[in-house]
Amino acid sequence: MSTGFANQVVTAEPLRTSDQAAFDPGEKRNLSLDGLRGIAVLLVLFHHHHYLESGWMGVDLFFVLSGYLITSILRRTRTDQFYWRNFWIKRFTRILPPFLLLLVATALLPFHLSWKQAAAYLLSFGDVLAYTRPNFEPLRSLWSLAVEEHFYMLWPFAVRFLPRRSLLIILFTLLILEPVTRGIISQFVADWQFFYFLTPFRLDGLALGSLLALLSESESSLEFLKHWSGWATLLFAALWFCFRITFGLSFTRDNPTAVYNSACYSLVSLVAFSLIAWLVTRPCSVATAALGWKPLVFTGVISYGLYLYQVMLRELVMSTWHVSIRNALWIDTPILFLAAWISFRFYEQPLIRWGKRLTQNLY
């Protein structure tokens, strides 16, 4: 979903969060990144219950983390004989089990999921369905998985066959084109969901995460990030607030202008990029220690299940107990954490370990 630091200030070998550990057994874990994932999923949870208007930004944080961690793995294994097989076995055993469980549960519960719709979700059209079926809530969260899968259908080829310089050019080009494209198309499309859900407009985070992975291979870049990532985090966050204050309600997701569509998603991803760079280059900072708090780390470890199952459980609680979307939070959250932990402990982890064994047996 990484430059790491053990006893050294700078090293080119990544630390691992739970997703990366799922790909690479026996690696050290950067607990602060797990904690950051925990915060990201909590932001989304409160957003889905209408307590936090901007909580959707947690998804962009996931995108940056994913690009950073997965690209680090791809770069490190790009010359392996079983590069493709290992990548897809590990990714399928990590991503598919909870995904399939959610599809089955939604089909069995009274949500009226057709087999055609289920097939579309399986084929990574979740972003399109989120846009074209705005009133079908239980599986709407799958849009972000579709965006990731679209990116990872092509990016591993680039990492495998292109030199680092070419990869940097691709990423910088993408980071320039994304906001420009959104700004231009905003002149013709007013629907915020068009820009929020569809893959062509949501690649900033994955590209920035991938860029961070490439920069982490250079000690000079790491030193630069170590000195400036903290200030950059504050700067990008301040820019976002300046835009929000200046443009008011016109700088919100549900009432977007061309300025919002151009700048907001990029700024949010830049904040995440700088923050992650700060955490991995300053392993002894107060922020890193705080994010290593065990409840946050636990939340980050099971964050995939928390993210996938939350909307379905919310809809089920609301229809069963006839409570408001805000009050549903206090009922479905304990159930959600229990379900996500059981899913991770007894369903996901065994399959992840099985995937690891498969790849190890290839050598």
Q: For 116, what's the count of Cα atoms within 13 Å in the CB-facing half-sphere?
A: 1
Supply the pLDDT for residue 363.
57
Confidence at residue 335, expressed as pLDDT on a 0 to 100 scale: 98
Q: How far apart are CA 80 and CA 160, in angstroms?
A: 10
Burial class (CB in 10 A: 0-12, 13-18, 19+), 102: buried
Domain count across the chain: 1
Residue 2 maps to a domain: no
- The one-letter amino acid at 313: L
User: How many Cα neighbours within 13 Å face the side chain of 146?
Assistant: 24
Q: Residue 39: name the closest of 295, 341, 313 by CA.
A: 295
pLDDT at 273: 98
Determine, yes or no, domain membership for 5: no
Residue 304 in any domain: the answer is yes
Residue 214: what residue type? L
Reference 306, options 331, 325, 332, 324; nearest CA is: 332
Write down the pLDDT at residue 13.
34
> At 251, phi and psi to the nearest 5?
-110, 55
Return phi, psi of residue 210, to 5°: -65, -40
- The whole-number pLDDT of residue 134 equals 81
State residue 30's pLDDT score: 84
Instruction: Note whether residue 55 is domain-resident.
Output: yes
Please report whether residue 83 resides in a domain. yes
Q: Token digits for 69?
A: 């961690």
Is 129 within a domain?
yes
Q: List, as one string, the DSSP characters of 77-134.
A: HTT-TTHHHHHHHHHHHHHHHHHHHHHHHHHHTTT---HHHHHHHHTT-HHHHHHH-T
Let me know the angle formed at the C-alpha of 314 by 144 and 292, rounded to the nearest 5 degrees. 60
Helix (H) or strand (E) holding 61: helix 57-77
**Domain hosting residue 132, numbered range:** 18-360
pLDDT in tens, the chain (363 residues): 333 322 333 333 333 344 444 434 344 678 999 999 999 999 999 999 999 999 999 999 999 999 999 999 999 999 999 999 999 999 999 999 999 999 999 999 999 899 999 999 999 999 999 999 888 899 999 999 999 999 999 999 999 999 999 999 999 999 999 999 999 999 999 999 999 999 999 999 999 999 999 999 999 999 999 999 999 999 999 999 999 999 998 899 988 899 999 999 999 999 999 999 999 999 989 999 999 999 999 999 999 999 999 999 999 999 999 999 999 999 999 999 999 999 999 999 999 999 999 888 765
Q: In this structure, are residues 70 and 149 in contact, taking their beta carbons and an 8 Å threshold?
A: no
Q: Is residue 12 part of a domain?
A: no
Q: Does the residue 1 lie in any domain?
A: no
Q: How large is the C-alpha radius of gyration of the chain?
A: 20
Q: Which of 159, 5, 134, 137 is nearest to 78 (CA)?
A: 159
